[in-house]
């Protein structure tokens, strides 16, 4: 598995979703709920407004790497996940889960509080050069 390619795909999918939502005039508010608004007119006909969360949902976070707790190679892998995520402007974290215990490393979009109607800045715009291209 190529960790950096997975991070780049994650960012590209999110950016594409943001561009589509903006082109359709939908606000992509990270704090909005998943509720849909349905208007019923006087004649009883319904009008479903398109929600920014409808269709193919793009996740705001994803698990990128997991290993058993005692795996020394896993420690290095999680370190890579955290540094690659930081390079791309993402939030990263690790958690211990399960029995037997496993360490999972996640990446996700940073939470930003914006005024209503203001577009969230892109996660990583423009996309930086791949780290492997810097060598």
Each residue's pLDDT expressed in tens, for the chain with a length of 135 residues: 699 999 999 999 988 888 888 888 765 555 555 555 555 556 555 555 455 444 456 789 999 999 999 898 999 999 999 999 999 999 999 999 999 999 999 999 987 665 555 555 555 567 888 888 877
- Tracing tokens 């029995």 back to the chain, one arrives at 99
C-alpha to C-alpha distance for 63 and 50, rounded to whole angstroms:
29
**Which three-class secondary structure state does DSSP give residue 7?**
helix
> Is residue 92 a contact partner of residue 15, using CB atoms and an 8 Å limit?
no
pLDDT score for 63: 94
> Which among 98, 77, 102 is positioned nearest to 7, based on CA atoms?
77
Distance CA 89, CA 58 (A): 18
pTM score: 0.67
Using CA atoms, how far apart are residues 3 and 36, in angstroms rounded to an integer?
35
The class (CATH top level) of 1-26+57-125 is: alpha beta
Strand-pair partners of 63: 106
Domain ranges of the chain: 1-26+57-125
């Amino acid at each position: 598995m190529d960790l950096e390619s997975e991070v780049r795909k994650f960012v590209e999918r999110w950016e594409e979703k943001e561009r589509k939502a903006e082109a359709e005039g939908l606000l992509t508010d990270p704090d909005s709920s998943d509720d849909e608004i349905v208007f019923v007119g006087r004649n009883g006909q319904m009008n479903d407004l398109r929600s920014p969360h409808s269709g193919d949902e793009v996740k705001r976070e994803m698990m990128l790497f997991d290993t058993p707790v005692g795996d020394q190679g896993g420690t290095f892998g999680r370190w890579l996940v955290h540094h690659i995520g930081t390079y791309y402007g993402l939030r990263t974290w690790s958690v211990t889960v399960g029995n037997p215990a496993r360490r999972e490393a996640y990446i996700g979009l940073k939470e930003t509080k914006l005024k209503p109607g203001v577009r969230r800045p892109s996660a990583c715009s423009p996309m930086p050069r791949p780290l492997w291209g810097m060598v």
